[in-house]
Amino acid sequence: MLLADDGFDALSKVNDHLPELIFCDILMPRLDGYQTCAIIKRNPRFAHVPVIMLSSKDGLFDKARGRMVGSQDYLTKPFTKEQLLRAVDLFRRPVT
């Protein structure tokens, strides 16, 4: 598991480590989660990597905006351990 301090740090780590799944908080300094997700999804190298947005905002507009930038799911904070594990199971790539 890798953690990033902000959107730019996240992009650097995605580039260096090619994760199988990305959790992206919407409220991040310098580059917010929507912008970070959009950049990840525009890059053909990372477009297949599932992105799950995390936010304390649970409005319909917030969730729709997450989908518009390419996220596969949206978890509203606080979320339960079960919700988090369900998201990981749903989007984890099968081992071949």
Sorted by where each begins, the domain ranges of the chain are 7-91
- Tally DSSP H helices, then E strands, for the chain: 4, 3
- The model's pTM is 0.89
Pairwise CA distance, residues 42 & 75, whole Å: 22
Tens-place pLDDT, residues 17-75:
999 999 999 999 999 999 999 999 999 999 999 999 999 988 899 899 999 999 999 99
Helix intervals (H) in the chain: 7-17, 33-42, 60-68, 81-91
For domain 7-91, the CATH superfamily is Response regulator (3.40.50.2300)
The position carrying tokens 């990597």 is 49
